[in-house]
Amino acid sequence: MAQISAVQPSKVSRVQISKGLLTVLVSTGMLFLLSALLAPSSVVPGTLLGMLPFAAILGIVGLGQMLVIQQAGIDLSVPGAVSLAIVIVSHEPNGDNSKLFGAVVMALGFAVVAGLLNALLIGVMSLNPIIATLGTNALLFGAVLGISGGTPRTTTTLLAAIAGGISFGIPNAVFFVLATLLVVVIVLRKTVAGRRYEAIGASAPVARVSGLHVKTHQGLAYVWAQLLYCTAGIVLAGVTNQPTAFQGNAYMLPSVAVVVLGGTSLLGGRGLPAATVLAALFLTQLDQFVLALGVPYAVRTLVQAAALAIGVAIYTVDWPRLRASLKGLLSVEKP
C-alpha cells in the first residue's frame, strides 16, 4: 500500500504538468494563427520584436507570482515592486553608467526588505495575504514618490544596451526570462529546499506533520517573488527609454492571469514555470492582437479579465462531475 500511495502522486503531477503546458501551448499556437488571419500586422517581424521584450518581462513577474500562489497565497504588491525597481535604476544613476551597478544593488536591497515585510506579516503574523500585500504595495509606492517625485528619467545607455538590446536577432529580454526560468526550474525540481517547498504547497498540514517549517517556506516565497519583480522592473527600465514611475501598475492582473493560464492552482500546489512563461507570451500576443483590431484600451482590460476567468474555469472546475450533474438534472426533468 505504501508503494501505491507513493507512486500515485507522481503520476498525478505528470498529468497536471502535461495538461497545463499542452493547453497553453495549443492556445498560443491557435492565437498566432488567428492573428495571422485576422490581424496580420500583429505578427510581422517588427511587431514581434517589439512584443517579445514585454512578454519576457511579464514572464519574469509571473514566475514570482507563481512562487507565491504555489503556497496558496497571492501578492498584490507587484505594481509597487516593479515601479520601485524602475525608479531606482533610472533616477539614482541619472544617466551615469558608472552608478548603475550601485543602483541595481540598491533595488535588490529594497526588494529583500519588501519581501521580508510580507513574510513577517503573512508567514509569522498570519495576516490575510491580500490585505498584507496591499499594505506593502502602498509603502512601496510611497518610496517611489519619495525617490522620483512622480517624474520620469531617461535610463542609462548601459542598461538600455543590456536589457533593451538585441543579440542574434533576439531581444535580450528573452534571454533574461529564459535564464530566470532555468534558475526557478532547477531550484524547484533539483534541490532539497525546492522539493520541500513544493511539498508544502501541495499539502501544508501533511508537511507540518512531517516536520517541515511551513511558515518559513511560505514567508520566503514572498522574498523570492520580490526579487523576481525587481528583476522584471530593471529589465523594463532598460527596454523603455523613459520609464514612468507608475509603469508597474500594468502588471497586477496579468501577473495572476499568466499563473492561472499556465495551470498553477490558486489553491496552491505544484507550480508550472515553463507553462507560466508561455502563458505570458500568449497574454502579450493577445493584447497585441486586440490592439491591432482597433479595440479600445478598456476592452483590452476586459479581455485580460476574461482570459483569467477562462483559465480558472479550465483548471479548477471539475468538468466530468459537472457533466454528470447536468445529465442527472436533465434525466429528472424528463417526463
Number of domains in the chain: 1
User: pLDDT band for position 3 (50/70/90)?
Assistant: very low
Domain annotation covers residue 12: no
Residue 11 belongs to some domain of the structure: no
Q: Is residue 321 part of a domain?
A: yes
In percent, the amount of the chain with pLDDT more than 70 equals: 85
Q: Considering the domain boundaries, does residue 260 fall inside one?
A: yes
Q: What is the pLDDT of residues 151-205, one digit of tens each?
A: 888 889 999 999 999 999 999 999 999 999 999 999 998 888 888 888 888 787 8
The pLDDT, as a whole number, for residue 335 is 54
Which pLDDT does position 49 carry in this prediction? 93
Which residues are 171's β-sheet partners? 166
Whether the predicted model's global pTM rises above the 0.85 cut:
yes
Q: Convert the pLDDT of each residue in 214-249 to its tens digit.
A: 888 888 999 999 999 999 999 999 999 888 888 999
pLDDT at 264: 86
Q: Count other C-beta atoms under 10 Å from residue 167's C-beta.
A: 9
Does the residue 79 lie in any domain? yes
CATH number, domain containing residue 123:
1.10.3470
pLDDT of residue 12: 41
Can you list the alpha helix ranges (DSSP code H) found in the chain?
A: 2-38, 45-69, 78-91, 100-118, 129-148, 157-164, 172-190, 192-202, 204-209, 214-239, 252-261, 273-292, 297-316, 319-333
Cα within 13 Å of Cα(279), Cβ side: 31
How is residue 241 annotated by DSSP? S
Confidence band for 15, pLDDT divided at 50, 70 and 90: very low
Question: Which residue's entry shows cell 515585510?
Answer: 117
Q: Is 278 inside a domain boundary?
A: yes
Structural domain for 58, as ranges: 18-333
Alpha-carbon gap, residue 237 to 32, rounded angstroms: 28
| Span of 68-82, 128-142, 173-187, 189-203 with lowest mean pLDDT | 189-203
